Amino acid sequence: MIGVELRRQAKRRRTLWSFVALIAIPTIVMIALLTNGGPPKEGRRPELVDVAQASGLNFALFTLLATSQFLLVVVVSLFAGDAVASEGQWGSLRYLLTRPIARFRLLRTKLVVASLYAVAAVVLVPLASLAMGTVAFGWSAVQTPLAGALGVNTGLSRLALATGYVVACQAVVVALAFLFSTMTDQPLTAVGGAAVLVVVSEILDTVTALGSVRSYLPTHYWLAWLDLLVDPVDATRMRNGLLEMLPWVVVPLALAFWNFRRKDVLS
């Protein structure tokens, strides 16, 4: 069934263009860095962008940082929000549901495939950036912004862990977009809705007046993977992040399944 669903989604133009965009963005960033980059700007704490040209690994880490806040959110939202809503729009949802397959199974398959595409999208960015960055800047140790460097093996494993963490963060987006997808026939409503929620969460996160309430926002710990760039790694923030994002993944998905099982399909 997963194979069937994969094929349903694979040939769509938007799938192809999304992946093209995910490769194009690191290219654009690299061009920007190469034409504009230089010694770290004074008057500012050194940040990841200042060492982005130090090595391929640095470049990959920087593009991961740059894309994980919004671009990846939009792409992941696209895959997850489209999963059910587009079938509603095409009118094919009712035909799928008249097949002798349990609705739960159907929805589960759609979720799995949407997630696979989302994970592929997230992983593609650091991989492509790593390849491009190694060609442009060389394969060498990771320069951390504060001081010193991480060896190549360490750097590579930290990049892998950081990617894994970003995947976990994007799971929240998948869950929200998927929930909206089961509630509407308009794919763009689902996609946009999830993206807007993420943006709202990020904005609220900057309102310091909210104090500790902010740690319950789904995007609060999204940058915790930057702790991987210090030696030894202090994993408390990442651990807190994973725990705190878990309900944001489980609850929307549970709602999506519960709603889908009982709802009247009028599309």
Partner 1 sequence: MAAAAAMTLLAGIVSAANVDASPKGPAIRTSRHVVELPGGPTDPGTVRLPTTTYLPAKTPAPAVIVSPGFGQTQSSVAEDARYLARHGFVAVTWTMRGFQPFNTQGGKIALDAPDTEVQDLRRLVDLLAHDPQVLQDGPGDPRVGLMGESYGGAISLLGATYDKRVDAIVPVITWNSLRTSLAPGDVFKAEYASVFFAIATGDGCSRFAARVCRTYEHLAVTGIPDTRDKQLLDYSSPDPQRITAPTLLVQGEDDTLFPLTESLRTAVALQRKGTPVTLRWLEGGHDKSFGSATEARIRAMAGTWFDRYLGRRRVSTGPLFTWHRSSGGDGSSSQLPTTTPTALHLTNDAKTIGNPAGGRPASVSSLPGAGTIGGLAGALGFDFPGQSASWVTPPLRTTREILGAGRFSMHVSSSTGEAVLFTKVYDVSPNGDATLPNGQIAPLRTTGGDVAIDLPALAHVVPAGHRIRVVVSSTDLGYAGPPRPATYELSDPALALPLVPLAKAKGYGGLALVSGLIALGLLLVGAYVWTRRHRRPPDLGSDEAPPVVIRGLAKTYADGFRAVDGVDLTVEKGMLLGLLGPNGAGKTTTLRMLAGLITPTSGSVELFGRPVTSGADVLHRAGIFIEGPGLLPHLTGMENLRLYWTSAADSMDGSYVDEALEIAGLGDAVHRPVRTYSHGMKQRLAIAQAMLGQPDLLVLDEPTNGLDPPQIKEIREVLQQIADSGRTVLVSSHLLSEVEQMCTHVAVMSKGRMVAQGPVAELLADSDTVHVEVDDLEAARRVLPEAEVEHGVLVVHLHGGSRTRVVAQLVEAGVGVEGVASRRRLEDVFFELTGTGS
Of the candidate residues 36, 99, 206, 211, the single one contacting partner 1 (CB under 8 A): 99
Is 37 a binder of partner 1 (CB under 8 A)? no
Of the candidate residues 69, 154, 184, 189, the single one contacting partner 1 (CB under 8 A): 154
Whole-angstrom distance, CA of residue 141 vs CA of residue 40: 18
CB of 187 to partner 1, least distance (A): 13
In the complex with partner 1, the residue whose CB is nearer, 5 or 197, is 5
CB of 259 to partner 1, least distance (A): 13
Is 11 a binder of partner 1 (CB under 8 A)? yes
CB of 68 to partner 1, least distance (A): 18
| Residues in contact with partner 1, shown as a per-residue x/- string from 40 to 69 under the rule CB under 8 A | x-xxxxx-----------------------
In the complex with partner 1, the residue whose CB is nearer, 101 or 254, is 101
Residues that bind partner 1 (CB under 8 A): 1-2, 4, 7-8, 11-13, 39-40, 42-46, 90-103, 105-106, 112, 141, 144, 146-151, 153-154, 156-158, 160-161, 164, 230-233, 261-262, 264-266
